[in-house]
Structure 1
Amino acid sequence: MTDVILRPFRPEDAPWLVERHQTLYARDEGFDESFGPLVAEILQGFIADHDPGREAGWIAEAEGQRLGSIFCVDAGDRVAKLRLFLLVPEARGLGLGKRLLSTCMDYARATGYREMVLWTHESHRAACALYAAAGWVLEESKPVHSFGVDLVEQSWRIVL
């Protein structure tokens, strides 16, 4: 995969992001149809309300094909929240996840955040390994039933 660019998220990316999240999480994790609407709600809120001086989203793209996303949003009290980190299967294992994560964290630092937090699931082993390698700390892990399946929910944090 050549010439992958990271460009700013645009509202017209939202339907693709919702569809990819719904399809990939259903296929790979067994998530039910409640997951797509949650992603849509997050994106609608970002589009309607985000502060462009303190929040951003990026789309990884190559040859006009979207490959992934990551968002940095304000969680209050100089804490940023990482959201909607996604790589399509064909883009995994190429270092693009690390590049997206670094871009998001660098933006948070440059914007004046002192910490970042994120929420994920234990089953996302590659992403969790990436977080740990970047210095994130697992703060909480608990079993939950979400999106129609039993999961282990995780909360991670990093001081920037």
Structure 2
Amino acid sequence: MQFALRPFDASDADWLIAENAAHYARSDGFDDSFGVLVSEIVTDFLSDHDPSREAGWVADDDGTRLGHIFCVQHDAHTAKLRLFFVVPAARGRGVAQGLLDQCLGFARNAGYRGMTLWTHESHKAAGCIYRRNGFSRVDARPAHSFGVDLVEETWTITL
């Protein structure tokens, strides 16, 4: 599968929010609060991000969006991976690895020493790609979020 990575911009926002909200409602039973959270993250990024330390990318196949990922500042030395998603039809074709490579490379070039992320244990494929790329799961705890019972995970990597 051919795809290009391009910078995320405001024209991607509505698609990103709707795609995430609909997908996770179907796949995980998440309620509307998940879409609200995604919208807040995207709005905050668009209104106030430092382009030298924070960026987002969209995987694109001739105008068809395949996925997205963001690198934002967690603290002075640590980046935070956010909103990593690949549409189901594009999974297993290298899109996730391409997005993750872009994000990690950007974080290193921006001077971050490490990266952290938050996800859910039910996202097994995500856990596999994180582990394969050198991330370690440093925390896992039960939670009730987005209307369902989950196990929230924190993963980190030294860059």
Task: Look up the match of 2:39.
Answer: 40
CA distance in structure 2 between the aligned counterparts of 1:72 and 1:11, rounded to whole angstroms: 16
Q: d(CA) in 2 for partners of 1:70 and 1:43?
A: 11
Give the corresponding residue for 1:91: 90
SS of aligned partner of 2:32: coil
Gaps of 5+ in 1: none
Separation in structure 1 between the aligned mates of residue 105 and residue 64 of structure 2, nearest angstrom: 25
Count residues with an aligned counterpart. 159
| Residues 1:11 and 2:7 aligned together | no
| Distance in 1 separating the partners of 2:52 and 2:78 | 14
Q: SS of the residue aligned with 2:103?
A: helix
Distance in 1 of aligned mates of 2:77 and 2:23: 32
Q: Deviations over 1:66-93 (max 9, x none)?
A: 1100000001121000000000000101
Answer yes or no: is 1:115 the counterpart of 2:114.
yes
Query: Matched residue of 2:139: which SS?
Result: strand
Task: Indicate the residue corresponding to 1:104 in structure 2.
Answer: 103
C-alpha separation in 1, matches of 2:5 and 2:27? 25
Q: Distance in 2 between matches of 1:46 and 1:54?
A: 12
Cα drift, residue 96 of structure 1? 1.0
Q: Which runs of 5+ in 2 are unaligned?
A: none
Alpha-carbon separation, structure 1, partners of 2:23 and 2:97: 20
SS in 2 for 1:34: helix
| Alpha-carbon distance in structure 2 between the residues aligned to 1:33 and 1:142 | 22
1:77 — aligned with what? 76
Could you say what the CA RMSD is over the residues aligned between the two structures, in angstroms?
Answer: 0.6
1:138 is aligned to: 137
Match of 2:29 in 1: 30
Question: Is 2:66–2:95's contact at 8 Å kept on the other side of the alignment?
Answer: no
Q: Equivalents in 1 of 2:64, 2:58: separation in Å?
A: 10
Q: TM-score, normalised by structure 2?
A: 0.98
- Report runs of 4+ in structure 1 exceeding 3 Å deviation: none
Q: With the length of structure 1 as denominator, give the TM-score of the two structures.
A: 0.98
